[in-house]
């Protein structure tokens, strides 16, 4: 929350410490009960059981235990949260945090203790499929229920104490500790990628030393990773920010140069990395790329123009099917077997027309009606591809198979057998999509979109033809999505109606919202994080053990983002100001920055930059 986060205030030093007897028992009970409930819920989803197969640190900690073990820590930390008045806490952290944290953590742990008791004495496997002795054994570390009950009370208490204790540390130390923990977990999650990359540059011994053979970091590896992260965080704090600020203050040719350098560097990394990694990782990268493309398209519709399109998968489907029908020799009705790039022209035209056709009736509707109606269109298009009525054209449930690859001027053929080439193809289209999004955002049309998003009535009064402008957003988004569809058809080599469920729309929506509506960097980061780590609707991510739970997590993430951070992970400055207008003004007033901001002119469309 860019607007509410403030630097630690000097006034905080004068706040009295919170004493143990200030403890708010009702709050404690509520928080503890919530944490205990979450513990039980998470356990009953079988998340710990499945994630137990994924070690973080070899023979010490698995992701499953980490998942349930971290909840008491969070509970212990949350209990110390206090209302800040004008950015200044009422109290300094004191013994309250330690006591409250321990108690809250114990309550959270008690949830699991209770679960162990319940599983031992009752059997309700009938509705709850994960109510199993296996779960009980996992929770009690295979040492019997009594041990299980006691150990979780203990783990809860210690975890809560740690969580509460974090509040007593100076900010710098706290950040360092959290960074260390984060880096260790991240290193474990990214194992496949890191091992692949490190081995690719010929440093297998390093990878073998860092990672255990059966997965997870080795103890020494974890220690080194934590130490590096700790040192870097402790001494490097603020350097990154300073560097970014320096680049942001550059102007004129120097700025252009810096930007060009950054873009070249990114491009170089993107071109070199696939050469170093194996085909499994390349497959992953290609999947991420496809979703980046889709998310960039949806970002124009949802992020820039503010139209909630829930049927975005329709354009993905139309793009796929058009490419399939035009390039595959086996397509039922017409099979011109066009080269892929020629077919792409048709894909663009047809998807554009479909975008117009779907867009025109819905564009005048209320925002929420529009969402449901686009969802309806998304389903209708899938049902039509699936139906017997049109199976003469699209093959019905059998779909279209044996779609050839993309021939590049007779040099090579890009198809699913070589994910590296697919990734390069996706990369090219991503680059195009990024460029298009970036230019559009700063164009007259882009400003019109943002105006419509902020207030349609005012935008109309300003002379914007809102209907045409919104329709254009729809069409541009559709075309970007169809690129992804066309590549998808050739990557997989076949298209089936079941690849285009509404689910896909939802996942893309989560990606866009998680990353940050309207922010290109945010959307790319969102796709990389969610699709890369958790996986897409049918594509596995780095955490394959998560595949059963990823949709659950997507749902929870969507709700949580909306409640806590509606502007997304990496927000666009303008969008977050729209969402936090009041807070922003209040905050700016507090910092005395209102005038400073106006002078700095960080509106994207000030004269010298557009």
Residues within the interface to other proteins (CB under 8 A): 44-47, 126-130, 306, 308, 310, 360-361, 363-369, 371-373, 375-377, 379-380, 383-384, 386-389, 391, 465, 467-468, 471, 502, 506, 509-510, 513, 548-549, 551-552, 554-559, 561-563, 566, 579
Cβ 461 to other proteins, closest distance in Å?
13
Cβ 234 to other proteins, closest distance in Å?
36
Cβ 228 to other proteins, closest distance in Å?
37
**Interatomic CA distance for residues 138 and 56, integer angstroms:** 16
User: For residue 216, what is the DSSP state?
Assistant: S
**If you write DSSP's letter for every residue of 291-360 in order, what string do you get?**
HHHHHHHHIIIIIIS----TTTHHHHHHHHHHHHHHH-TT-SS------HHHHHHHHHHHHHHHHHHHHH
Cβ 508 to other proteins, closest distance in Å?
12
Cβ 396 to other proteins, closest distance in Å?
9
Question: CB-wise, 36 or 344, nearer to other proteins?
Answer: 36
b/e code 524-546 from CB counts within 10 Å (16+ = b) = bbbbbbbbbbbbbbebbbbbebb
Residue with tokens 């509606």: 566
**If you write DSSP's letter for every residue of 233-276 in order, what string do you get?**
HHHHTTHHHHHHHHHHH--HHHHHHHHHHHHHHHHHHHHHHHHH
**Interatomic CA distance for residues 370 and 309, integer angstroms:** 7
Whose CA is closest to 515, among 502, 529, 505?
529
Question: CB-wise, 338 or 467, nearer to other proteins?
Answer: 467
Cβ 386 to other proteins, closest distance in Å?
7
Cβ 381 to other proteins, closest distance in Å?
9
Question: CB-wise, 361 or 601, nearer to other proteins?
Answer: 361
Question: CB-wise, 200 or 518, nearer to other proteins?
Answer: 518
Question: CB-wise, 120 or 391, nearer to other proteins?
Answer: 391
Question: CB-wise, 89 or 359, nearer to other proteins?
Answer: 359
Backbone angles phi, psi at 353, to 5 degrees: -65, -45
Asked whether the beta carbons of 466 and 460 are under 8 A apart, the reply is yes
Question: CB-wise, 143 or 364, nearer to other proteins?
Answer: 364
Which residues, at least 6 apart from 606, have a Cβ–Cβ distance to it below 8 Å?
none
Cβ 217 to other proteins, closest distance in Å?
28
| Secondary structure of 375-441 as H, E, C letters | HHHHHHHHHHHHCCCCHHHHCHHHCECCCCCEEECCCEEECCCCHHHHHHHHHHHHHHHHHHHHHHH
Question: CB-wise, 388 or 608, nearer to other proteins?
Answer: 388
Cβ 589 to other proteins, closest distance in Å?
21
Asked whether the beta carbons of 148 and 136 are under 8 A apart, the reply is yes
Asked whether the beta carbons of 483 and 289 are under 8 A apart, the reply is no
Question: CB-wise, 275 or 563, nearer to other proteins?
Answer: 563
Helix, strand counts (H, E) of the chain:
27, 6
Question: CB-wise, 86 or 548, nearer to other proteins?
Answer: 548
Cβ 86 to other proteins, closest distance in Å?
22
The number of beta carbons lying within 10 Å of the beta carbon of residue 442 is 14
Strand pairing partners for 535? 540
Question: CB-wise, 364 or 439, nearer to other proteins?
Answer: 364
Cβ 158 to other proteins, closest distance in Å?
29
End-to-end, the C-alpha distance of the chain in Å comes to: 28
């Amino acid at each position: 929350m860019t607007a509410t986060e403030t630097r630690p205030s000097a006034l905080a030093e004068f706040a009295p410490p919170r004493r143990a007897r200030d403890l708010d028992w009702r709050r404690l009970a509520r928080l503890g009960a919530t944490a205990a409930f979450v513990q039980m819920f998470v356990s009953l989803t079988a998340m710990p059981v499945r994630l137990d197969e994924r070690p973080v640190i070899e023979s010490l900690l698995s992701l499953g235990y980490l998942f349930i073990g971290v909840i008491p820590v969070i509970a212990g930390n949350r209990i110390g949260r206090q209302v800040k008045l004008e950015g200044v806490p009422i109290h300094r952290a004191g013994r309250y945090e330690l006591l409250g944290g321990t108690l809250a953590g114990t309550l959270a742990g008690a949830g699991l203790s209770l679960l162990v008791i319940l599983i031992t004495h009752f059997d309700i496997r009938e509705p709850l499929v994960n109510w199993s002795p296996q779960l009980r054994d996992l929770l009690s570390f295979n040492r019997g229920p009594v041990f299980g009950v006691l150990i979780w009370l203990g783990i809860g208490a210690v975890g809560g104490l740690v969580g509460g204790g974090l509040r007593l540390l100076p900010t710098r130390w706290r950040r360092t500790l959290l960074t260390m923990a984060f880096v260790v977990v991240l290193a474990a999650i990214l194992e496949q990628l890191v091992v692949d990359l490190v081995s690719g540059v010929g440093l297998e011994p390093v990878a073998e030393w860092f990672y255990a053979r059966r997965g997870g970091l080795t103890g020494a590896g974890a220690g080194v990773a934590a130490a590096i992260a700790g040192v870097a965080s402790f001494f490097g704090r603020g350097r990154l920010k300073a560097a970014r600020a320096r680049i942001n203050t550059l102007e004129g040719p120097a700025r252009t140069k810096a930007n060009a350098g950054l873009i070249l560097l990114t491009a170089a990394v993107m071109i070199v990395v696939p050469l170093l990694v194996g085909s499994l990782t390349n497959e992953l990268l290609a999947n991420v790329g496809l979703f980046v493309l889709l998310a960039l398209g949806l970002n124009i519709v949802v992020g820039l123009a503010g139209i909630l399109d829930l049927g975005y998968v329709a354009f993905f489907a139309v793009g796929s099917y058009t490419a399939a029908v035009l390039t595959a020799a086996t397509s039922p009705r017409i099979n011109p077997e066009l080269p892929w790039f020629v077919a792409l022209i048709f894909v663009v035209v047809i998807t554009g027309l479909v975008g117009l056709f779907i867009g025109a009736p819905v564009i005048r509707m209320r925002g929420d009606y529009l969402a449901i109606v686009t969802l309806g269109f998304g389903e209708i298009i899938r049902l039509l591809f699936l139906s017997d009525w049109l199976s003469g054209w699209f093959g019905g449930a059998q779909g279209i198979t044996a779609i050839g690859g993309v021939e590049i001027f007779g040099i090579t053929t890009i198809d699913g057998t070589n994910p590296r080439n697919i990734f390069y193809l996706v990369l090219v289209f991503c680059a195009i999509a990024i460029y298009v999004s970036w230019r559009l955002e700063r164009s007259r049309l882009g400003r019109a979109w943002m105006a419509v998003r902020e207030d349609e009535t005012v935008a109309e009064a300003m002379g914007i033809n809102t209907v045409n402008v919104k329709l254009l957003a729809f069409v541009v988004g559709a075309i970007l999505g169809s690129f992804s569809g066309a590549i998808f058809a050739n990557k997989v080599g076949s298209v089936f109606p079941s690849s285009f469920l509404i689910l896909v729309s939802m996942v893309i929506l989560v990606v866009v919202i998680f990353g940050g509506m309207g922010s290109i960097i945010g959307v790319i980061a969102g796709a990389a994080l969610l699709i890369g780590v958790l996986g897409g609707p049918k594509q596995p991510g780095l955490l394959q053990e998560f595949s059963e739970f990823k949709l659950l997590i997507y749902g929870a993430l969507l709700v949580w983002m909306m409640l806590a951070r509606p502007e997304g992970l990496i927000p666009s400055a303008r969008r977050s100001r729209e969402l936090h207008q009041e807070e922003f003004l209040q905050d700016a007033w507090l910092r005395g920055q209102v005038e400073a901001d106006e002078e700095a002119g960080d509106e994207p469309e000030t004269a010298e930059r557009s």
